[in-house]
Amino acid sequence: MKNTTSAVKANKTVMVLLILGLSTIIFPLYMTIIIAFKQPSEMTNSISGLLSLPKTWSLNNFREAMEVTDFWRSLRNSLLISVTTVVLSIIIHSLMGYTLGRNKKSKFYNFIYLFIVSGMFVPFAILMMPLAKQTAELGLANWVGVVLLYVVFYMPMNVMLYSGYLVNIPLALEEAARVDGASTWRTYWKIIFPIMKPMHATVAVITALAVWNDVMTPLVVMAGSSQNTLPLAQLNFQSQFGTNYNLAFASYLLSLIPILVFYLICQKQILNGVVNGAVK
């Protein structure tokens, strides 16, 4: 009886915590949506005025925000950078994770693994100015340079996830493939790579979210060019129209929709990939 009572109390506590956590997400999202649809004349200093629904639901703020931020061009650049980075990261980082994960008993490979993973502790602020100068000298002060930097920046975390996920894949599968005459390269692409699908989804979402929302790297590398990502366009927008919250929040929602759709598509694979990738 005591165990049942304790379980009920624990469930109630969990429910209260979940409700509190959910409210911290729903309330800002609610404010963002209603402000994005309101007109500047409806913005008042009173709490009731801020929380109230728009008198008329109009898409005028979204249309104007798209014009001011050059939305479609910025969206194209963000999609190009994000998709290219994700594809390269999955291919390159999974190969590196497989190689290092299957050879951790070797001192050399273990040193390489620790060296790569240690890159997570290097702050971007230290590398910012040298990278800006080097990319300019190499003619990479464009989206290509940004993609290359992203692939390097997210390599430590992704390699750690992939190598950790390999613990859940038995060596017997590879040994059976070798007995059948398959090479290591063929074994990886035909057997190991498809099995790592949950981790591919996890890496894709984590990398895409980081790349999509990043401001500093495109700002430093592509400074002075006409190429803007959505975060850069919003940064320029804020500097020009900082007090126009209606347009600003409409712009935020527009940039949120693509990455939110991408997350919803991949969410089924994320939890499994994160849990299994944490195993070492």
Q: Which residue type, as a one-letter code, is found at position 45?
A: N
Q: Which of 220, 250, 221 is nearest to 238 (CA)?
A: 250
**How far apart are alpha carbons 94 and 163 in whole angstroms?**
8
In tens digits, the chain (280 residues) has pLDDT values of 555 666 666 677 878 887 887 778 788 888 888 888 887 777 666 666 667 778 778 788 888 888 887 888 888 889 999 999 999 999 999 999 999 888 888 889 889 999 998 888 888 778 888 888 888 888 888 888 899 999 999 999 999 989 988 878 888 888 888 888 888 888 889 889 998 888 888 898 889 889 988 888 888 888 766 678 888 887 777 666 556 778 888 888 888 888 788 777 766 666 555 555 444 4
Q: Which of 27, 61, 25, 29 is nearest to 43 (CA)?
A: 61
pLDDT at 239: 66
Q: Which residue type, as a one-letter code, is found at position 184?
A: T
pLDDT at 279: 47
Residue linked to tokens 């502790």: 121
**CB contact burial 55-92 (16+ within 10 A = b; e otherwise):** eeeeeebbebbbebbbbeebbebbebbbebbbeebbee
**How far apart are alpha carbons 215 and 236 in whole angstroms?**
11
**How far apart are alpha carbons 86 and 211 in whole angstroms?**
9
Residue 212 DSSP class: H
**Upper half-sphere CA count for residue 258 (Cβ side, 13 Å):** 21
**How far apart are alpha carbons 90 and 113 in whole angstroms?**
17
Find the angle CA(239)-CA(244)-CA(246) to the nearest 5 degrees: 130
pLDDT at 127: 82
Maximum alpha-carbon separation in the chain: 74
pLDDT at 136: 83
Express each pLDDT in 154-178 by its tens digit.
999 999 989 988 878 888 888 888 8
pLDDT at 82: 92
Exposure of 247 by Cβ count < 10 A (0-12 exposed, 13-18 middle, 19+ buried)?
buried
Residue 175 DSSP class: H
pTM, full prediction: 0.80
pLDDT at 84: 95
pLDDT at 29: 82
CB atoms within 10 A of CB 7: 10
Q: Which residue type, as a one-letter code, is found at position 91?
A: I
**How far apart are alpha carbons 132 and 121 in whole angstroms?**
20
pLDDT at 102: 87
Give the total residue count for the chain.
280
